[in-house]
Structure 1
Amino acid sequence: MPTFKQRPPLLLAVIGLLLYFGLSYAVPLFDKPSSPEQEKRSTPAISKQEAAQTAVAFIDRRFGLSGKQTADTLFQSYTSRSGYIQQAKLEDEYEKKFAARFPIDYYEVEIRDGTSTYYVGVNFTTRSVLSFSAYKAPTAKTDALPTLESTPGSAAEQAIRDMGFDPAGYTLHSGVSPEGAAEQVYVSRTEQIGEAKLELRLLTVGGQVTAFRPAFPPPDSFVRWQEVQDGRSGLMTRISMIASLAMTLASLVIVVRYRRQISFVRGTLLTLVFLALYLLNNYNMLPAFRTSHGSGPSEAGAILYLWIINTYVVLMALSTYFALLAGGKLTQDRGVRPWAVWRDVDFGEQAKRSMKDGYILGLFILGIQQVLFLGASALFDVWSVNDPSDSVYNMTHPEIFPLLAWSAAISEEAVFRLLGVSLMLRLTRSPFVSVLIPSIVWAMSHTQYPIYPVYTRLIEVTVIGILFGYAFLRYGFLTAVFAHASMDSILMGLSLIYDGDAKQAAAGLVYFFVPAAAGWLLYAIHGRIRRRPPSLPSARYP
């Protein structure tokens, strides 16, 4: 059966590297670089343990801890504030006036003492307390949480003083009482950024302040704009899910119809690799799942969400498996071997070759992505916000995060290239249409990331999908997988280098070469084991 004999020119990798690093260093020529103060404020200067010690000491002083406490530290961000500041181009003004006192990113410490749960915001550069909230457990007494202070004046004004603010500079604008808890909003008379005025929001239960939070609520115009953007993102995500489900159903039909011509062993190993690494990543992300907590302890809700998402990943694995089976059959019908498997005499050589070709293509696509990203930033004023649920600071072991690159490469190349492109080729006979439509569907599934305006992400990922699609048609499925894995491994490794500590940065650098190690390891092991000759084209494809 014919195989792929053409090779991508090494020049593509050189172009990709020049584009990526050249444009990365050229950015300061077009955009103002971050100041040392900005860089310092974006990187934690204290450990999570130090933040927890600060938070426990604060809560003990203010409320008194009733028993042995446990404390967990999470990385959090004020995403709405960050979005408004960027859209309104107020970054420099915010940096000068407010960033030191009201950082966008901060540590949030969750403290539990058996009867109550507390959340404390800690500035991870100055170790000062930014906010606090206290909640009674359902089984605890319903009386108010006590405070240690007993001073003249209202409890709210005293709490404002305790947190370092002067009540005289604020006006009480509202007092809402949901379920017996009075929320008081004090609005600053002088401090604001754009249309967002500084507010001090306090919650009072039984005459005692149980929560304090400073806020810069963005104007309604921005909130409405962001809601529209998020609505469009949600619509595109749903369309992508429906289209992906349709492709899964089509793969089931193909597998059932041609079940006598299909070996169900094919694709099993790749599916298991996808499933194992994705499940490992989900457990690694358990702290991140806790960032979207309610008023009580976050661990139970995070564990429930973990099992829900694990169930979804198992369904994704089944979809990937049937995409491999059906896509392999459609590829075979075009007269092309889907991909080499272990029993093939040339499997080791094909793995090594696909790895080398994959790196060339992956580096080229990495450079193209940099062009698209910077072009979108210049032409469409693209901006993004930190997502605590996807931050390396909210991972149990950040150093294993880049392994997810292989899950993304296997699943997405199987569903959108091996199956999607092959299925569209069967229906349209047009290579361009066959590559374009799955690329759009794939891109729609990536618009849920907090990057605005959302349509720019659709354009960017569609172009990248077209490049992967043509890589699949010209160089084969296994090469497309290695290209995808090498590109994502480099990007995820860079996230560890930029955001992690020294150990994590070293691990990030190692991940640049993990796809190369995988290809060479498969080649070396296969070369030492007795191999059988490849099956004939007329036989069931293995």
Structure 2
Amino acid sequence: MIRSKINRSLLLLACIGIVLYIGVNILYGLQEEEAVPAENPTISKQQAADSAAQFISERYRIDRTKTFVVYQSKKARSGYLQKENLSEDYTAKYGERYPIDYYQVSVVDPVMKRHFEVEINYTNARIIGWSEDATVQSSISKQKADIMAKEEIRKQGLNPDDFIAIEKPAAEEENGTTLFYEKQSESLGEAKLQLRMDFDDKTIIGYNVIFSLPESYQAWLDQQDSSASIMTWVSMGFTLLMSLAAIIYILILRKKIDFRRGLLLTVIFITIYIINNINMYPAFKAMAATANEGTATLIASLFMNLVTMLLGISLYLSLAAGNGLWESIGLRLWPSWKERHFGSEVYHGMGRGYLLALFILGVQQVLFYTGEVNFDVWAVSDPSNSVLNMLEPRLFPLMAWVAAISEEATYRLLGIMLFKKLFRSNIIAIIVPSVIWAASHTQYPIYPVYTRLIEVTIIGLILGYVFLKFGFITAVFAHACMDSILMGMSLFSLGQWSDVLAGIFYILLPALIAIMLAWLHEKRRGPLIPGEPPPRLEAL
């Protein structure tokens, strides 16, 4: 039976992390009156689909439609409001009628081949806007369209006299007739409410609410996204070079490398990733252009599966080369199943992992709060990564293991050794791969983007120290525990008891896996002899 001994230093760090986490949340609570909390959906996707189908049926006399629901967000609008501290003002004036986050329902008539996109308020099922994806052969006169537009504005509960027609931008030129109107009162900073209405030769086929954003903000946002893209490509480039270096070292050390090491972890990685790609089908639809939705979704799915296979190959190279390189200098930072102390290492690695994860989560919360208060950091919702855009949200936390296995293998097991050889310094060997790893996380919609680079680099430094001090298994568990806690808690917001229970299960999953592996290993290999030292040297 494995005996557990609590590392007092790690327990102290965990307590510090808990205090930091709770303390920062208390500070957030004190600011609650100023903040505008995001609302979670209070209607189901089926209710949204029914509301959209009923609207299209009543308005266009179309029945027997097929529907598909995705979650969407007005990301640019949300960013402007947060950057200019206008979120509270927006919520008071427009939040209920034109929410930032909403459901988008594709309503298709399979007989007449008509396709509508309907935006639904996901807290009350109210129609926000709609548009038909259609090629209009003939258009209505602008005079007649203007009369119909003002009547529609009145039906929407707005005052037509408060809106003036504005010129259609050249970039918006399409078939049919499109009119734009701008509200003269209640602007938000430099943003003004605008309405876009599209017409065929008989009626309105599109009504969409737009908030004009200042060109200066859009230019700033484009520059931020460009910087994030550059950092991501730089990270990918260095990661590719690391994979090439892994191939070279595998060839050099081929007689000493056990090529079976890493195969199981690679299979686990690819399997979970492909399951996630299938699960992300609604997200791919949300990202696809309406005109070629089906084709774009299929291409995105195939592309992601191809990327998954390439990432799997890169992971295997990192595991094989990384382990071989450490063993070539006499360090066993990743014990194998056949070693007597494997079960003990997994069990204690899990315990260390939870304690370290609590510390890291506390540090991360402090970094978030510091960024918001001192550096005006803000984040927007990202439909492409939301659990609301998954076929089965309760499968999402499995990705914690994908991240933990692949990133610890690439940037710790392999990366630290490569840069240790290059610079002959443990400190530099931890810093460089941490920065490369952090750069790959800047594509998340957190602004300014450099703050994400700093935050993830700091976490990388902690994980790098953990790897050198306690080994690969502890680093993987620390990473997996941290992500499992965050991803498990993300299920709590879905509101169902089954989701809450699933979230708790995933938070406990690292412990369940470690206990099972330790038990199986002890049954197959026998217990570790008391006092028997593990054949691994400290790397620090």
Structure-2-length-normalised TM-score: 0.91
Once the 2 structures are TM-superposed, how far is the Cα of residue 163 of structure 1 from its aligned partner?
3.2
> For the residues of structure 1 that align with 2:182 and 2:247, how far apart are their CA atoms?
59
Counterpart CA distance in 1 for 2:100 and 2:145 is 34
Alpha-carbon distance in structure 1 between the residues aligned to 2:521 and 2:116: 56
In the alignment, the residues of structure 2 paired with residue 288 and residue 241 of structure 1 have an alpha-carbon distance, to the nearest angstrom, of 23
> Does the 8 Å CA contact 1:63/1:145 hold for their aligned counterparts?
no
Of the candidates 65, 71, 76, which is equivalent to residue 75 of structure 1? 71
Partner of 2:26: 25
Cα separation, 2, equivalents of 1:102 and 1:531: 64
Corresponding residue number in structure 2 for 1:178? 173
Matches within 5 A, 1:6-45: 9-29=10-30, 31-33=31-33, 42-45=39-42
Q: 1:341 to 1:33 in 2, by over 3 A?
A: farther
Q: Which range moves more in the overlay, 371-380 or 296-305?
A: 296-305
Q: Which residue of 1 aligns with 2:212?
A: 217
Partner of 1:446: 441
Are 1:346 and 2:347 matched, yes or no?
no
- 2:353: which partner in 1? 358
1:117 touches 1:296 (CA, 8 Å); kept in 2? no
**SS in structure 2 of the partner of residue 434 of structure 1:** helix
Structure 2 partner of 1:47: 44
Shift of 1:237: 0.5
- Pick the aligned partner of 2:80 from 78, 84, 87: 84
Corresponding position: 1:161 with 2:154: yes
Aligned counterpart, 1:129 = 127
Equivalent-residue separation in structure 1 for 2:6 and 2:161 (angstroms): 75
Q: Which amino acid aligns with 1:57?
A: Q
The correspondence of residues 221-370 of structure 1 with structure 2, limited to 5 A, is 221-296=216-291, 298-370=293-365
SS of 1:495's equivalent in the other structure is helix
What displacement does 1:34 show? Answer: 6.9
Bigger Cα displacement from structure 2, 51-60 vs 401-410:
51-60
Q: Which residue of 1 aligns with 2:453?
A: 458
- Aligned residue in 1 for 2:400: 405
Aligned AA for 2:48?
Answer: A
**Distance in structure 1 (CA, Å) of the matches to 2:91 and 2:156:** 21
Aligned residues: percent identity? 40
1:391 alignment partner, one of 367, 386, 394: 386
SS in structure 1 of the partner of residue 118 of structure 2: strand
* C-alpha displacement of 1:143: 5.4
Using the alignment, how far apart are the partners of 1:196 and 1:93 within structure 2? 12
Pick from 175, 182, 191: which aligns with 2:186?
A: 191
Gapped regions of structure 2 (runs ≥ 5): 536-540
Cα distance in 2 for partners of 1:434, 1:520 equals 32
1:100 partnered with 2:96: yes
Q: Secondary structure at the match of 1:133?
A: strand
The answer to whether the aligner puts 1:117 opposite 2:118 as a matched pair is no
Amino acid at match of 1:479: T
**Match of residue 502, structure 2, among 507, 510, 519:** 507
- Distance (Å, rounded) in 2 between the aligned partners of 1:33 and 1:508: 29
> CA 1:500–1:301 in structure 2 vs 1: closer, same or farther (change >3 Å)?
farther
How many residue pairs were aligned?
519
- TM-superposed CA distance for 1:532, in Å, is 12
One-letter amino acid matched to 2:153: I
Letter in 1 for 2:57: D
**SS of the residue 1:255 aligns to:** helix
State the shift of 1:88 in Å: 0.3
1:528 alignment partner, SS class? helix
Report the secondary structure of 1:190's partner residue: coil
Rounded Cα–Cα distance in structure 2 between residues aligned with 1:90 and 1:190: 16
Question: C-alpha separation between the residues in 2 aligned to 1:152 and 1:373?
Answer: 49
8 Å Cα contact 2:274-2:308 kept in structure 1: yes
Amino acid paired to 1:68: R
Q: What residue ranges of structure 1 are gaps of 5+ in the alignment?
A: 538-542
SS of match in other structure, 1:513: helix
Q: CA deviation at 1:251?
A: 0.3
**Residues 392, 500 of structure 1: 8 Å contact kept:** no
Aligned to 2:538: none
What is the distance in 2 between the residues matched to 1:276 and 1:118? 36
